[in-house]
Amino acid sequence: MYLIDTDTFKLKFFSTHTEQKDAYAILSHTWEDEEVTFEQFKDEESAKKRKGWAKIASTVQMARRNGLKYAWVDTCCIDKSSSAELSEAINSMYQYYEDAKVCYIYLSDLPNVRSMKGPEIAKSRSASFVKCRWFTRGWTLQELVASRVVEFYDSGWNHYGTNESLEDAISSATNIPSDVLKKKTPLQSVPVACRMSWAANRTTTKIEDRAYSMLGIFNINMALLYGEGDKAFIRLQEEICRQTADLSLFAWKAERLRWGGLIIPGEKAPASPYLGQALHGILASSPSQFAHAGSYSPFNSGSARYSGEYALTNRGLRFDAVTLKCDRESGRYLMSLECHDRDSNTATPLAIRLMKIGSAYVRSHADALFDWPVGAEGVHEERVYITKILSPELSEAYSRSILSVQLLDEGKETQRSFYEIVAVSPRPRWDPLRRSFFLDLDNPLCALRVEADPRKFTSSSQLISKDVFLIVCAAGPPEPNSGGRRNSLNTFIFSPTGHHKKDNAGVAGPSKFEEYFKEVIKNDELTTLEGQRGLLNLVMRSQVDGALVYCRGERSTQGSAKGAAVECHVLGGVGSQGNLNLQIWFTA
């Protein structure tokens, strides 16, 4: 750590920021043209010709008048030619400001009081103060929060006020609670989402600094990788995951498109590559997505922390022993975040909506947060994987890789007591809540065993066995340059109860197709390429009297198979957005 000696105006090096015992002053400001760098500071005559020299000189002079041996200014006290020193300085920045005796905040765009006249000076300066650029910059956030004693100065270096005298104005401008500014509330006890909201409308020159400027706010240390862009903010969230179980980290809202224009949570529209995206991962893409979270607080026991364990894996964020609520109307799952908005009238925790995609979950409807339905049906999952981040391209491809299966009754939703999907394969790709398969290049094939109760269609009191229907669906490969859009869906339907051949004793026996189908379902063989090929070959070569239904483009085609008492109809199709649909209904 380099400090400026206020007596000699020379830089002095300390191997660690704790090595020096003398008190020092520190400067907080916004960078402008012609700042004095570490190398330029060594040549005093040349440095004095640059605009940034005045800030350094004023800081040093003020520190000396206050009896302080040293001063620190970021422009000239960090050797940015050394990546190691730059990394150490940025990772220690919060500590630098916290350990300083006093922080001088220089507001270059706050009018010099000596140049102002008239009775409205105080009112005018008050309005100008909260509009200063200093309140909009990313790095100044942790400088304000970390510093214990703060003094504000206008463009002429005239004293304007302190963190105590300006407490209300500062809190209003930054959305930071007064108790945090006064150090009465420990920073690490504030929910993660709330701390993120303080940075939501702040900007940095480099994209990566949106994350690096918040390291101290979350007590995080991590490597600096300039050039990684948005990945820096993802890494910051990953580090937060490793150090806390605060689920409010996931209480963000995505930007969305409506009526051709942007509707952004918060007041400022960030440049985000994820606008209008249907599906997301569980991590946010920008601090701006937390703009709404300033009033979030733990729902119970003073903590928004998850009582179980979650960890980062190569399959996403893994949650152990989590309970998801079923939202059957939308076909989605809800996960509680153990926090709530204290400014709202709701008495339930906030939740995010999830959709099952294969063996993992993604976040859907990410432009909103939902009330946790306390009395709703719960699904206890021993282990749940949620994708960390989802690109727009993958979101589009995933949306077009879902085969929705609908059981219909003459156009109306069926009663479960009469028709039921009793077995499926591949099971990891099946979502029972939405009755849908996730079909991709690795798993383009799926199979269902559906049973129908003939008593739905007859008033006879005679016991009638259920009819069984075996259905196999194969999604065609995505078209080139289509964003994962598929153009075909082929469906094969067969009823073993309607086509059993009888042996010499007149007893119906299972066909080879039915026997193989049972093994496929029992062993979940469609999770493997070998199992998919075996079933597909059997369908193509089968001599059973089933129906093979072809669908190309948006033209839906229909087929049927007769059981002992019931006929099953299927209608497959590709929607206008490339989504796959399979409708199933029954007639006598």
Judged by DSSP in three states, 134 sits in helix
Structure tokens at 184: 């009465």
pLDDT (tens place) for every residue of the chain, 588 residues total: 999 999 999 999 988 766 667 899 999 999 999 999 999 999 999 999 999 999 999 999 999 999 999 999 999 999 999 999 999 999 999 999 999 999 999 999 999 887 776 666 777 788 899 999 999 999 999 999 999 999 999 999 999 999 999 999 999 999 999 999 999 999 999 999 999 999 999 999 999 999 999 999 999 999 999 999 999 999 999 999 999 989 999 999 997 654 333 333 343 444 455 556 889 999 999 999 999 999 999 887 555 566 678 899 999 999 988 888 887 777 789 999 999 998 887 778 999 999 988 889 999 999 999 998 877 677 777 789 999 999 888 888 888 788 888 877 543 444 445 778 889 999 988 888 888 888 877 788 999 999 888 776 666 555 567 888 999 988 887 777 666 677 788 888 888 888 655 444 444 455 777 888 888 889 999 988 888 888 888 777 765 566 777 777 666 778 888 888 888 888 887 776 667 888 888 887
Q: 412-413 and 402-409 as β-strands: parallel, antiparallel, unpaired?
A: antiparallel
Rounded to two decimals, the pTM is 0.84
Domain final residue, candidates 393, 418, 443: 393
Q: How far apart are CA 34 and CA 11, in angstroms?
A: 20
CB neighbours of residue 581 within 10 Å: 18
- HEC assignment per residue over 489-552: EEEEEECCCCCCEECCCCCEECCHHHHHHHHHHHHCHHHCHHHHHHHHHHHHHCCCCCEEECCE
- HEC assignment per residue over 304-326: CECCCCEEEECCEEEEEEEEEEE
**Do 88 and 69 belong together in one domain?**
yes
Domain-embedded: residue 137: yes
Estimate to the nearest angstrom the gap between the alpha carbon of 44 and the chain centroid. Answer: 49
Structure tokens at 556: 């839906």
Residue ranges in 134-253 assigned as alpha helix (H):
139-146, 167-174, 178-181, 192-199, 209-212, 231-243
Domain-embedded: residue 381: yes
One-letter amino acid at 461 equals S
Q: How many residues does the chain have?
A: 588
Q: How far apart are CA 330 and CA 349, in angstroms?
A: 19
Range of the domain at 439: 400-587
**Do 409 and 387 belong together in one domain?**
no
The residue assigned the tokens 């591949």 is: 426
Contact predicate 355/282, CB 8 Å: no
The residue assigned the tokens 């190398």 is: 39
Contact predicate 35/77, CB 8 Å: no
Give the C-alpha distances (Å, rounded to integers) separating 117 from 110, 120, 206: 15, 8, 39
Q: 445-452 and 467-475 as β-strands: parallel, antiparallel, unpaired?
A: antiparallel
**Do 495 and 539 belong together in one domain?**
yes
Contact predicate 369/348, CB 8 Å: no
Taking Cα atoms as reference points, which of 361, 382, 358, 284 lies closest to residue 316? 361
Structurally, how many domains does the chain consist of?
Answer: 3
**Do 443 and 352 belong together in one domain?**
no
Domain-embedded: residue 511: yes
> Judging by beta carbons within 10 Å of its beta carbon (0-12, 13-18, 19+), is residue 118 exposed, middle or buried?
exposed
**Do 444 and 547 belong together in one domain?**
yes
What pLDDT is stored for residue 506 in this prediction?
A: 45
Phi-psi region of 71 (alpha: psi -120 to 50; beta: other; left: phi over 0): beta
Domain-embedded: residue 306: yes
Q: 102-106 and 412-413 as β-strands: parallel, antiparallel, unpaired?
A: unpaired
What pLDDT is stored for residue 498 in this prediction?
A: 80
Eight-state DSSP code of residue 400: T
DSSP letter string, 356-375: EETTEEEEESTT--EE--TT
Work out whether the CA dihedral 142, 147, 151, 153 comes out positive or negative. Answer: negative
- CA atoms lying within 13 Å on the CB side of residue 5: 8
**Do 369 and 452 belong together in one domain?**
no
Domain-embedded: residue 81: yes
Q: How far apart are CA 225 and CA 269, in angstroms?
A: 25
Contact predicate 139/209, CB 8 Å: yes
What pLDDT is stored for residue 411 in this prediction?
A: 38
Nearest 10 degrees: Cα torsion 85, 88, 91, 95: -110
**Do 372 and 431 belong together in one domain?**
no
Judged by DSSP in three states, 69 sits in coil
Domain-embedded: residue 219: no
- CA atoms lying within 13 Å on the CB side of residue 454: 20
Peptide bond into 426 cis (omega under 30): yes
Domain final residue, candidates 185, 220, 249: 185
**Do 374 and 275 belong together in one domain?**
yes
Beta bridge partners of 467: 452
Domain-embedded: residue 576: yes
**Do 301 and 322 belong together in one domain?**
yes
Domain-embedded: residue 226: no
- CA atoms lying within 13 Å on the CB side of residue 338: 18
Judged by DSSP in three states, 485 sits in coil
**Do 525 and 386 belong together in one domain?**
no
Backbone angles phi, psi at 220, to 5 degrees: -115, 145
**Do 445 and 563 belong together in one domain?**
yes
Judged by DSSP in three states, 42 sits in coil
Give first-to-last CA distance, the chain, whole Å.
85
Beta bridge partners of 570: 559, 584
**Do 461 and 482 belong together in one domain?**
yes
Domain final residue, candidates 185, 200, 220: 185
What pLDDT is stored for residue 307 in this prediction?
A: 66
Contact predicate 512/448, CB 8 Å: no
Residue ranges in 323-415 assigned as alpha helix (H):
392-399
Rg of the chain on CA atoms, in Å: 32
